Structure 1
Amino acid sequence: MLLTPLPQQPEVTFHWLRVGHCKGPEAMARQGGRLRLIEFPSYVGALHHPDHGWTLFDTGYSQHFFDTTRRFPELVYRNLLPVTLPEAEHLPHQLAALDVEPGDVRRVVVSHFHGDHVGGLLDYPHARFIAGAAGAEQALSLRGVNAVRHAIVPALLPDDLRDRLDPVEEFPELAVGGLRTWDLLGDRSLLAVDLPGHMPGHLGLLFTSGGRQVLLVGDAAWTTRSFREVRPPSRLAKGIMHDWSSTVRTLGALHDLDAAHDDLLVLPAHCPEGAAAWAAGTGRA
């Protein structure tokens, strides 16, 4: 990948919120990990632009997840990766503490349509949904056991998802830092980033907040160690990857970006070390 300087971006306000967690084997997240069960928190980005209001990056878990996974075949998903969602971590509660009501959320950038990333879409009835066209089409087309096999829970998707969908490919495209990106707000403040491999249309988000440039990478890397050491997920997880070779290439690209840009903080969606680095203000995990 040809590395070029990352763009100057207008600042937005950013909150990195933990919205529940599941438990799974450490070995699933990266090759060389142990078989012990660890927590995989689900982090959600809440971003405020002074002119364009509130944007969410994913939604994490919600009560809807528990309601829609009570029966077979969705119950298989729930049992394989047991989920905990403390009352204080429900996303609407955390947003209310920021004086944000559900109707204030103007858009949700969906990294991909796995249940732990879209569990709360139903809570934002006025938001537009920005996603990769291929990922949205896959999520809308799968049903039953085939959906669960891809970690998709169709009942978590709003009935009017297709009407409220803004495919990312319809936004102005920019090539920055060796990345394919799309300018979501017209001022380069929020750049959706093409991070292929994990699921069709998988997206990240690049922005600047608090003087630091941040790249949210969804499940393109499950932990900071994954991209720092270029350790892809275990073969245990290969079955849920859309394109294994692209997954590995994307992980290498994140490694190169992280190594080349000391001022860039790369935040995987399930990594407590990355969250701690943001909270500490170090800029590095």
Structure 2
Amino acid sequence: MIPVFANSATVRTRESFVLRGGRRAPVALQVRFGLLEHPTVGPVLIDTGYTHETVAGPRSAALRTYARILRPRLHDAGQPAAVLARRGIGPEDVAAVILTHFHADHVSGLRQFPNARVFACDRTFARIAARGTLGNLRHGIFPELLPDDIATRLTGFSTLPRAQADVPKALTAVADLFGDGHVLTVDLPGHAEGHVGLLFPRLDTPLLYACDTQWMLSALDPGRAPGWPARLIADDPDAGMATTRAVAAFRAAGGQVMLCHDPDPAPYDMEPAP
């Protein structure tokens, strides 16, 4: 079972904002989401990327402001529905969505998949449900993007079997998502509340989808992680630096690492649509 990733949108920013020693020139960051075709569960998405729910239609003033500031450029061929359609999968066929965290560029399209079980950090979801609008905005979370029935569809990571795989000691594997050892959650604190990566330990070379640990793979290199202003938007900057070191150690030991926003093509990226 091999994951593949599509690019839902690009967001342009100055490279020096996301990479220490980077250029002042703009860089187009990708906004990936993943797809697994599990042999018994069915089609499974990893996040949803950016979708029209974030950038168009009825939205709160806060979400409209967010979209105006970041100005994501959606890729029609990279939208989840389009990617699934090319594989003969309809939105109603998606069996599950794994959320690495609750930021808008990861949950934007969640309402498009009404039958999907939602795997996520249940402790984080409980905090989201208990907080008011301003409290969630401080954490970069827009509950309006979440389905109205998410509480009944959510399967919390804490309720799943503990992962038994041999994981490098710098990382903490938490949950075995499907109970077969193929996809494990890995705690990656720092970027956001409940932020996790996904470890695929049974690939020929284990793959860690480290999601938003950094924006660029180059930032895993010593001394390249960004400082200000990137640290201002991290949930816990110091924990984020420890996570960066742990992910870098996994890569140095021979593992593969993918990030959501790295601008360069990655080995598990889908071929662009014709």
**Structure 1 residue 146: deviation in Å?**
4.3
Question: Residue 6 of structure 1 corresponds to which residue in structure 2?
Answer: none
| Deviation at residue 113 of structure 1 after TM alignment | 0.8
Distance in 2 of aligned mates of 1:278 and 1:82 = 26
**Offset of 1:242 from its aligned partner?**
1.1
Q: Where do residues 1-285 of structure 1 align in structure 2 (5 Å cutoff)?
A: 12-67=1-56, 71-174=60-163, 176-178=167-169, 179-181=171-173, 182-207=175-200, 211-229=204-222, 231-261=224-254, 264-273=255-264, 275-279=265-269
SS of 1:242's equivalent in the other structure is coil
Aligned residue for 2:230, secondary structure, equals helix
TM-score, normalised by the number of residues in structure 1: 0.86
Q: 1:108 aligns to what SS in structure 2?
A: strand
Deviations 1:167-212 (A, max 9, x none): 1111122362223221111110111111111111111111168744
Listed as ranges, the gaps of 5+ residues in structure 2 are none
Structure-1 separation of matches of 2:207 and 2:104: 24
For 1:55-75, what per-residue CA distance to the aligned partner results, in whole angstroms no more than 9, with x for missing partners? 111100111111367552222
User: Aligned in 2, Cα 1:133/1:80: closer, same or farther, shift over 3 Å?
Assistant: same
Give distance in 1, aligned partners of 2:125 and 2:15.
29
Partner-residue secondary structure (3-state), 1:129: strand
**Distance across 1 between alignment mates of 2:208 and 2:221:** 14
Q: Unaligned stretches of 5+ in structure 1? A: 1-11, 281-285
Q: For the aligned residues, what is the CA RMSD?
A: 2.3
Does the 8 Å contact 1:69/1:78 carry over to 2?
A: no
* 3-state SS in 1 of match to 2:261: coil
Query: Counterpart of 2:172 in structure 1: which amino acid?
Result: R
Stretch moving more, 230-239 or 135-144: 135-144
Distance in 2 separating the partners of 1:74 and 1:104? 28
Provide the identity percentage: 32
Give 3-state SS (helix, strand or coil) of 1:44's partner: strand
Between the aligned partners of 2:65 and 2:172, the Cα distance in structure 1 is 36
Is contact 1:13–1:209 with CA below 8 Å preserved after alignment?
no
SS at match of 1:173: coil
Q: 2 CA distance for matches of 1:146 and 1:29?
A: 26
Name which of structure 1's ranges 236-245 and 120-129 shifts more when overlaid on structure 2.
236-245
Q: 1:200 to 1:68 in 2, by over 3 A?
A: farther
Query: Which amino acid is 1:271 matched to?
Result: D
Distance 1:33 1:69 in 2: 37
TM (norm. structure 2) is 0.89
Is the 8 Å Cα contact of residues 7 and 75 (structure 2) preserved in structure 1?
Answer: no
CA distance in 2, matches of 1:74, 1:149: 13
Assess, with a 3 A threshold, how the Cα gap between structure 1 residues 233 and 173 changes in structure 2: closer, same or farther: farther
Q: Partner letter of residue 265 of structure 1?
A: Q
Contact map agreement 1:73 1:145 (CA 8 A) in 2? no
